[in-house]
């Protein structure tokens, strides 16, 4: 099968979801594959002004020539008269390996470059799909792994398309040489130290000498596995509806399902919550720790930056909780300006007015913001009794893992407010008093979810 710009355009027309903005953003490394994608799109879209083409280059800073590569990419984009953006990222391989860390940093940067409805296009081709499928087999992956890389998927705030999956690298190279294109050869692609490169250079060529159509067969297998995954998602949807309590899952509903349906639902729910599908080992841990553990325990299971916690018969899923903030963590907040809180906790701002919030006359220009040390107490506005903060948090159904992460506002040694949840009575403004109302913006979901799905 020969590669042509017309075939590429057919893919765009048939695959780009309805509601897309028409902006196509090519992840442009300067290598053969992305150079072919960019040049062919430029030609294919010449008669289609409804599309806008952009090139985005991500510099990982991992190679001595990375600055020169970025310059090459900029030059190619100028030659093709294509909008070009370059971003440099920092790659920190914290236990996941350099390849995975670079991939995560790259996609995070690409996501930031997209506007709502934009399509990110990457130059993965049939050989890449074959390699991905083989790596999944060697890991003992299930259908999600065997489905390998989908041709189109949601990629907030738009979509991610892989329009070259139907073509081999040699087919792309033939077109590039016929067109006189130039590209970058990254020497790291030749190192068999990396698993993917070992397969690419040592194993797959041997398989292809025996089975010449192996690459296209692997692409077809991945497509079949993707269809199987879509069916499993359809089966999981009614199970999710029956087991849901808002964004949470009911433990008793999970326990009532067969093991296969329960694991399928856990994979589906995790995916909807923004996580990669858990491995078999993580699924077994979820079943044991979340379903079989004693009710008074607060188990947590983590993978790939995602975590699942159990509380009062419900499972909560979200980004890994970074731990408690206490001790020396303290901020001086000049409340005339917003205060950005650490670790995805949102921000605080002060809204002046009358009759709601803190008495303005009692506030110094700067408030001290801290997190729980333990032993704090206050008399909430309108309450005749002084209350331990610990008991207030329990009574208000604040989730246990958030209780030490609520911003406490102090005036000298007096607790004036707890975020925007409580105001101390001694600082509470009367109906006619000039006041400062604390607004906690973008705060996380800190309250326990009711057991009902409403």
pLDDT tens digit sequence for 24-45: 999 999 999 999 999 999 999 9
Domain that holds residue 303: 245-319
On whether residue 314 sits in a domain, the answer given is yes
The pLDDT of residue 400 is 92
The string of pLDDT tens digits covering residues 166-200 is 999 999 999 999 999 999 887 766 667 778 888 88
- Please check whether residue 45 is in contact with residue 53, taking contact to mean a CB–CB distance below 8 angstroms: yes
What integer pLDDT is reported at residue 323 of this predicted model?
64
According to the model, what pLDDT value does residue 57 have?
94
Range 205-222 average pLDDT: 90
Q: Does residue 240 form part of some domain? A: no
- Of 266, 290, 319, the residue that ends a domain is 319
* Mean pLDDT value across the chain: 88
Asked, for residue 233, whether it belongs to a domain, the answer is no
Residue 219 inside a domain? The answer is no
Token pair of 81 as six digits: 């008269």
- Pair 298, 375 in one domain: no
Statement to judge: residues 295 and 421 lie in one domain: no
Within this chain, do residues 184 and 294 fall inside the same structural domain, yes or no? no
93 in any annotated domain: yes
Q: What is the pLDDT of residues 237-276, one digit of tens each?
A: 999 999 999 999 999 999 999 999 999 999 999 988 888 8
Lowest mean pLDDT among 94-108, 111-125, 264-278: 94-108
DSSP characters for 396-413?
TTB-GGGTTSSPEEEETT
Give the whole-angstrom CA distance, residue 98 versus residue 181: 30
* Residue 135's CATH number: 3.40.50.620
Cα–Cα distance measured from residue 311 to residue 135, given in angstroms and rounded to the nearest whole number:
37
Percent of the chain past pLDDT 70, that is, above it, reads: 95
* Omega prior to 245 cis, within 30 of 0: no
Per-residue model confidence (pLDDT) at position 325: 55
Residues 6 or more apart in contact with residue 334 via CB below 8 angstroms: 365, 366
pLDDT the model gives residue 454: 42
Rounded to whole angstroms, how far apart are CA atoms 39 and 32?
Answer: 11
pLDDT class of 328 with cuts at 50, 70, 90: low
Q: Domain boundary residue among 298, 319, 340?
A: 319
Residue 85 belongs to some domain of the structure = yes
- What pLDDT does residue 296 have? 74
Count of the separate structural domains present in the chain: 3
Residue 190 to residue 201: CA distance in whole angstroms: 8
Residues 142 and 68 occupy one common structural domain: yes
- pLDDT at position 291: 85
In this structure, the answer to whether residues 197 and 335 fall within a common structural domain is no
Task: Name the 3-class secondary structure at 358.
Answer: strand
Please work out, in degrees rounded to the nearest 5, the angle formed at the alpha carbon of residue 92 by the alpha carbons of 329 and 405. Answer: 25
Query: Where a domain ends, among 188, 210, 232?
Result: 210
Structural contact between residues 129 and 222, judged by C-beta atoms closer than 8 angstroms: yes
């Amino acid at each position: 099968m020969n590669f042509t710009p017309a075939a590429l355009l057919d893919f765009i027309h048939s695959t780009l979801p309805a509601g897309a903005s028409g902006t196509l953003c090519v992840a442009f490394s300067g290598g053969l594959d992305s150079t072919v994608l960019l040049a062919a799109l430029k030609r294919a879209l010449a008669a289609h002004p409804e599309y806008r083409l952009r090139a985005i280059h991500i510099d990982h800073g991992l190679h001595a020539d990375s600055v020169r590569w970025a310059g090459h990419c900029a030059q190619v984009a100028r030659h093709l008269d294509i909008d070009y953006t370059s971003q440099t990222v920092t790659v920190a391989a914290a236990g996941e390996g350099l390849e995975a860390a670079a991939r995560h940093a790259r996609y995070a940067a690409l996501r930031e470059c997209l506007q709502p409805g934009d399509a990110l296009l990457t130059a993965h081709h049939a050989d890449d799909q074959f390699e991905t499928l083989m790596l999944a087999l060697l890991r003992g992956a299930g259908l999600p792994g065997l489905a390998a890389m989908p041709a189109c998927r949601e990629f907030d705030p738009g979509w991610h398309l892989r329009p070259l999956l139907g073509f081999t690298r040699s087919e792309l190279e033939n077109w590039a040489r016929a067109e006189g294109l130039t590209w970058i050869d990254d020497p790291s692609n030749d190192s068999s130290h990396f698993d993917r490169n070992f397969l690419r250079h040592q194993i797959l060529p041997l398989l292809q000498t025996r089975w010449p159509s192996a690459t296209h067969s692997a692409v077809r297998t991945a497509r079949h596995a993707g269809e199987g995954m879509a069916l499993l998602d359809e089966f999981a949807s009614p199970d999710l509806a029956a087991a849901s309590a808002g964004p949470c899952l009911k433990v008793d509903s999970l326990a009532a399902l067969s093991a296969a349906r329960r694991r399928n639902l856990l994979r589906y729910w995790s995916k909807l919550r923004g996580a990669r599908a858990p491995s078999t080992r993580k699924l077994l841990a979820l079943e044991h720790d979340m379903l079989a553990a004693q009710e008074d325990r607060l188990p947590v299971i983590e993978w790939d930056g995602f975590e699942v916690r159990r509380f009062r018969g419900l499972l909560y899923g979200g980004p890994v909780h970074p731990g408690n903030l206490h001790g020396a963590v303290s901020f001086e907040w000049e409340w005339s300006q917003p205060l950005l809180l650490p670790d995805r906790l949102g921000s605080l701002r002060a809204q002046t007015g009358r009759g709601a919030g803190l008495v303005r006359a009692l506030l110094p220009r700067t408030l001290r913001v801290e997190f729980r040390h333990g032993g704090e107490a206050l008399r909430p506005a309108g309450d005749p009794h002084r209350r331990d903060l610990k008991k207030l948090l329990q009574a208000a159904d604040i989730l246990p893992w958030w209780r030490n992460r609520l911003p406490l506002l102090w005036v000298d040694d007096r607790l004036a407010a707890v975020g925007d949840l409580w105001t101390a009575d001694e600082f509470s403004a009367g109906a006619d008093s000039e006041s400062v109302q604390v607004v906690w913006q973008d705060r996380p979901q800190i309250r326990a979810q009711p057991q009902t799905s409403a």
